[in-house]
């Protein structure tokens, strides 16, 4: 028997043993997509002549953003979003905001007489087939403020 046949036999035996001890996947290598789901809820108050200090003092909240009417701005705006991780469900964001403003709903309703008050809800994902739900307890915020519940959806 030649050395070539002996080597070939050993190589085939080694391959056979490797396939038993380290079986290859029957499925082709496919990259599994990494999906993300992000939420954000913001109380927004805007109009002309907002008193940022009065709003902050009355609500007991530090705004996360303010701007005044002027260059590229049509109006003043005071806004606040609760410190909730963007990866948390939308319901967590709404409830955190609801808990923060609940004692001052009458004040916010009064502001609505002169200014625009709304709740901006945002959802961003890279998955076009996902969805979310919001529990009934969350909807009390929108009902008490007498503002519509809407969600801006961005799929990227």
pLDDT for 131 equals: 86
Strand, coil or helix: 110: helix
Q: Is the pLDDT of residue 2 over 60?
A: no
**Candidate from 15-24, 72-81, 87-96, 102-111 with smallest mean pLDDT:** 15-24
Q: What percent of the chain has a predicted confidence (pLDDT) above 70?
A: 82
For residue range 6-61, what is the model confidence (pLDDT) as tens digits?
555 555 655 555 555 555 556 667 888 899 999 999 999 999 999 999 999 999 99
CA distance 93 to 102: 14
pLDDT for 32 equals: 84
Tell me if 39 sits within 8 A of 122, measured CB to CB: yes
Give the Cβ contact number of residue 56 at 10 Å: 15
Q: What's the token pair of residue 104? A: 């001052």
CA distance 80 to 42: 6
Alpha helix ranges (H) inside the chain: 3-21, 52-59, 90-101, 105-111, 139-145
Q: Which of 97, 137, 104, 134 shows the shortest CA–CA distance to 119? A: 97
Q: What's the token pair of residue 61? A: 């909240």
Task: Please give the model's pTM, rounded to 2 decimal places.
Answer: 0.78
Residue whose pair of structure tokens reads 């002027």 in the numeric block: 70
Instruction: Give the pLDDT band of residue 77 (cuts 50, 70, 90).
Output: very high
């Amino acid at each position: 028997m030649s050395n070539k046949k002996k080597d070939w036999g050993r190589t085939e035996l080694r391959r056979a043993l490797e396939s038993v001890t380290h079986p290859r996947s029957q499925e082709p290598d496919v990259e599994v997509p990494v999906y993300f789901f992000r939420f954000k809820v913001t109380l927004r108050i805007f109009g002309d002549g907002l008193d940022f200090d009065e709003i902050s003092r009355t609500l007991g909240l530090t705004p996360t953003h303010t701007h005044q009417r002027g260059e590229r701005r049509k109006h003043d705006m005071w806004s606040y979003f609760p410190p909730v991780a963007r990866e948390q469900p939308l319901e967590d964001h709404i409830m955190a905001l609801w808990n923060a403003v609940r004692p001052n709903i009458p004040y916010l309703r009064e502001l609505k007489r002169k200014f625009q008050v709304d709740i901006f809800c945002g959802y961003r994902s890279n998955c076009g087939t996902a969805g979310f739900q919001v529990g009934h307890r969350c909807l009390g915020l929108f009902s008490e403020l007498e503002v519509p519940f809407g969600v801006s959806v961005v799929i990227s």
